């Protein structure tokens, strides 16, 4: 992969929490690149550094060393104002806990990114309706999160993430609070929407279904990026 092809570049990134004997290395010299339009999954056990990695890429956490670029812009060198602009214009998040505002309707939650971008009312309402239809919630625009199931709430979160057409989607264990059947539906939906939009996506998960949907899978262990696993042999794949 050449540097010109990479939309996201992570080079030698390290992050430590705490000091002295209490210091914990969340990330240790992690490096990889993600080309535009790729669906990348990052797996690893709890505490492996997956969430810290996503937070660092999106500028929510400052790293101690290394460099992160999105679309050629150095995230690690940005001011807080520049990071806010980056998240408003280029980066969208899907969280395990949905992250919806409980007093707002589904439509109002989805419309938040468009309000932040200053999109006019008519255009905003049309785009919100289209986004809810894409995730199968066109009949629930006026319901608040408490009136929706867990799967429906995550669909609202997906619509909110995609409505502003970001260049990069970051999703942190997006099905962690869902039952297995609903989780599979949501995982397949994310895969379909990411590919249809052509955006770049980095998703942390340990779910084999979502891993199977990804173009590429990386694995973190104790803050270290592990070497890629060798392909399975024909005999192994039939077992």
Residue indicated by tokens 């092809």: 5
Residue range 51-66, pLDDT digits in tens = 999 999 999 999 999 9
Residue 197 has pLDDT above 70, yes or no: yes
This prediction has a pTM of: 0.85
CB atoms within 10 A of CB 224: 16
Domains, in order of start, for the chain: 1-90+168-228 (3.40.50.300), 100-165 (no CATH)
Residue range 206-230, pLDDT digits in tens = 877 778 888 999 999 999 999 876 5
How many CA atoms, within 13 angstroms, populate the side-chain half-sphere of residue 1? 14
Helices 150-163, 180-197: crossing angle, 10 deg rounding = 10
- The backbone torsions φ and ψ at residue 23, rounded to the nearest 5 degrees and listed phi first, read -70, 135
Residue with the bigger pLDDT between 208 and 122: it is 122
Reduced to 3 states (helix: H, G, I; strand: E, B; else coil), residue 231 is coil
């Amino acid at each position: 992969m050449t540097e010109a092809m990479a939309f996201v570049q992570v080079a030698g990134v390290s992050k430590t929490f705490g000091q002295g004997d209490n210091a914990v290395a969340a990330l240790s010299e992690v490096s990889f690149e993600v080309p535009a339009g790729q669906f990348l999954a990052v797996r690893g056990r709890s505490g492996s550094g997956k969430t810290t990695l996503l937070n660092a890429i999106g500028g929510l956490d400052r790293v101690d060393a290394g460099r992160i670029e999105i679309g050629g812009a150095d995230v690690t060198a940005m001011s807080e104002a520049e990071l806010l602009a980056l998240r408003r214009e280029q980066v969208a998040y899907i969280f395990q806990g949905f992250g919806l505002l409980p007093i707002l309707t589904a439509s109002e939650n989805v419309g938040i990114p468009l309000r932040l971008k200053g999109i006019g009312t008519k255009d905003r309402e049309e785009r919100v309706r289209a986004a809810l239809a894409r995730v199968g919630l066109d009949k629930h625009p006026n319901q608040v999160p408490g009136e929706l199931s867990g799967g429906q709430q995550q669909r609202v979160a997906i619509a909110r993430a995609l409505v502003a057409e970001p260049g990069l989607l970051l999703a942190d264990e997006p099905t962690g609070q869902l039952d297995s059947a609903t989780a599979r539906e949501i995982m397949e939906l994310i895969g379909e929407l990411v590919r249809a939009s052509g955006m770049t996506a980095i998703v942390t998960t340990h779910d084999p279904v979502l891993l199977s949907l990804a173009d590429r899978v990386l694995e973190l262990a104790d803050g270290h990026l592990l070497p890629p696993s060798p392909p399975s042999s024909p005999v192994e794949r039939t077992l």
